[in-house]
Structure 1
């Protein structure tokens, strides 16, 4: 199983969205996190790093995610670097009744565990919610200095990011992304946030 890094920890990545994929770490409002991400997985699926729980986040809140920096793992040029996917875990109501599991990566919910098959049966592909719940590079290039406003659907928000792109060709490579997260309570109601708001640099 591919492993990704969060600080000093090495953690499994995930290729699907599901509210029951457990968080690998926590961040407080105003805190920052570095995620070390891999490129595509299997049949060009985005391999996501996380989820990161935002302390105090509840459904109906909003998190504001600032992209502080992005770099390539090999130290090469990172001009125009941006994540392909940034988002929060969906609520249960956004999941299908059942889909074909076909062996997805689900972070710490691993094959052989009792809860793997129930989660795999309903988990959504990593880019399936683009524009609805997650931010996508198809909508905007979220380079350093960009901001993403995301509604929270589950306790802790469970923020994930990955599929880092570099250069005009949108080539996905291994790399890292630094994010700062701020929590706004009841942000959905207060600011009428119904989906991701992407603010490119």
Structure 2
């Protein structure tokens, strides 16, 4: 079996995206509980079948600081917009994130749900140099607050050094159990809390 092309999606967070994080729920001005994605990103990220279906629940591994979580998160079309949603992210480190910080998604292109997607964040407060490097190197790549880089490009090589593939302890075995797991009725997008 041949290796599939790998991509890294870099999304500049908007104020409306911050509702996905428990630390920002009370101050969020938007009721959106997901991170917005563009149609070109969804088309590249998802297999043709999943894109036509309007998305799916995907195996997503989130790592940031000491936080690690593996669960199904929905990448789907809501009206005319694509969103990455799911339960709220409870990592305390996410309290430092703000609009114009970055979410990075690393995946195979045309993901059919078999391969996990890795997600992390780059914030100006805590990862100042890395954040500045992304801004400087991808300034011409951003379209609608999103840039996509493919394996083999200089940008991919630089980002993959800071954002390696799925950590083995999260890729193998059962997902990590969170101490402060959220009951299903309080999951992101259920009731706006």
Which structure's residues are more often helix, by fraction? 2
TM exceeds 0.5? Answer: no
Taking structure 1 as the reference length, the TM-score comes to 0.29
Taking structure 2 as the reference length, the TM-score comes to 0.30
Which structure's residues are more often strand, by fraction? 1
Instruction: Using CA pairs under 8 Å that are at least 6 residues apart, name the structure with larger relative contact order, 1 or 2.
Output: 1
